[in-house]
Amino acid sequence: MMAVGNLRNAQLIINLKAIYSNIKHAKERLDPDTALFQVIKADGYGHGAIAVAKVAERAGASGFCVAILDEALELRQAGITKPILVLGITDPELAQVAANQNISLTVGSSAWLNRAGQLLQNSQLDGKLNVHLALDTGMGRIGFQTADELEEALGVLKQHPSTMNFEGIFTHFATADSPDDSYFKFQYQNFQDFMAVVKNKPKYIHVANSATSLWHKVCGGNMIRLGISAYGLNPSGGEIAKLPYELQPALSFTTEIDFVKYVKKGRSIGYGATYTADSDQWIGTVPVGYADGVPRAMQGFSVLVDGHKCPIVGRVCMDQFMIRLPKNYSYGTKVTIIGKSGDLEITADDVADYLKTISYEVICGFSSRIRRKYL
């Protein structure tokens, strides 16, 4: 793993109180018997999975979702004992590892169940493997595509009562963050058609990500998978502005000016000499770059210094980039890449808009070289 920059003044500042408040608000809108599983894949969307898990537990989360088995094991090693569901497909050869760590796995085919069932039969088990069946109602990613396929899988599960437990069933919406709900309704109808063949309901039925929980009825589910909105970001970017409660962004990114110079008109800045000063001007250098998750495409965007917007000039380098300053600022002056400075604010959505992506990609794109500081 890359060294963590503990001796460099550049940090992601994570406001755990904001995460607490966002989860608390989400939980308060649910029926008392609906569980909230906090999604902490990709190191808690870049915020630190273990720190987020701990605050989420205090805010009322009764379990966690991750993307891959390694992430689940990391949580178990950190002493997290609540249920954990792996949302992606895990190799059936690892079914025993998951069962023995009480980690629930997502399953999308009968072939998987047959293979895992065969392996588990011949294994030393501390407990049954909890499985959640994924229904592909229109996301087109993983899961059973028809009610017939689902029925077959339920049959396979019945053949392995001592090694596998049907713990959950779920689907994932592709357009829950869109103002147009026609495709959402189509998926929901498909979900109901699937559920008609499920005679014995599992403990958890879940369909809601953040967007579904904010803007749609939870469709008869009794668990939600809350992701981005716990981190204080709007799943739709700005597309649906109306929110049932205020989301508090938890992450800010600050660093400093670590070199300042006055350059004469005509001097160029950075690789490729893509920027040439059109007047005498102050240029500052900032000690983060694309290896930290500040992409080269950020050239031309701005950061905040002392309440001023300062453009990123020249190409972003691997470990540094340059900004144009309105005046001479001393070594160590704070630079805000995401967050507030004076009356101005740059949000993860502002960065995402500039990069033509979504806030999700921005926040989980910061590398392990940037230290995380918790408030």
Would you please indicate which residues are annotated as catalytic (active-site) residues? 41, 271
Token digits for 203? 């403990």
Quick one: 71 or 256, whose CB is closer to ligand PLP?
71
Residues 41-60 close enough to bind ligand PLP by CB under 6 A: 41
User: Do residues 372 and 14 touch, judged by C-beta distance below 8 A?
Assistant: yes
Give me the residue whose beta carbon is nearest to ligand PLP.
Answer: 227
Token digits for 175? 């357009």
Shortest CB 14 distance to ligand PLP, Å: 17
Residues 62-91 close enough to bind ligand PLP by CB under 6 A: 87
Among 52-60, 222-230, 269-277, 289-297, the segment contacting ligand PLP (CB under 6 A): 222-230
Query: Count of CB atoms within 10 A of residue 198's CB?
Result: 17
Is 141 marked as a binding-site residue? yes
Tell me, what DSSP letter sits at residue 209?
-
- Does 235 interact with ligand PLP (rule: CB under 6 A)? yes
Alpha-carbon dihedral sign for residues 253, 254, 258, 262:
positive
Among 118-126, 195-203, 208-216, 268-276, the segment contacting ligand PLP (CB under 6 A): 208-216
Quick one: 170 or 275, whose CB is closer to ligand PLP?
170
- Does 209 interact with ligand PLP (rule: CB under 6 A)? yes
CA neighbor of 65 nearest in space, from 249, 234, 230 = 230
Contacts of the segment 90-98: beta carbons below 8 A, 24+ positions apart? 92/116, 92/119, 93/119, 94/69, 95/119, 95/120, 95/129, 96/120, 96/123, 96/124, 96/125, 96/129, 97/69, 97/73, 98/69, 98/72, 98/129
Token digits for 165? 């437990």
Shortest CB 292 distance to ligand PLP, Å: 23
C-alpha separations of 178 from 151, 164, 232, 318, 360 in Å? 32, 37, 18, 36, 16
Give the residue, chosen from 18, 39, 73, 346, that forms a contact with ligand PLP under the rule CB under 6 A.
39
Is 318 marked as a binding-site residue? yes
Quick one: 227 or 284, whose CB is closer to ligand PLP?
227
Give the residue, chosen from 15, 104, 210, 341, that forms a contact with ligand PLP under the rule CB under 6 A.
210
Quick one: 87 or 316, whose CB is closer to ligand PLP?
87
Residues 165-194 close enough to bind ligand PLP by CB under 6 A: 172
Query: Count of CB atoms within 10 A of residue 69's CB?
Result: 19
- Does 313 interact with ligand PLP (rule: CB under 6 A)? no
* Exposure string over 302-316, b if 16+ CB within 10 A, otherwise e: bbbbbeeebebbbbb
Residues 103-142 close enough to bind ligand PLP by CB under 6 A: none
- Does 277 interact with ligand PLP (rule: CB under 6 A)? no
Interacting residue ranges for ligand PLP, rule: CB under 6 A:
39, 41, 87, 172, 209-211, 225-228, 235
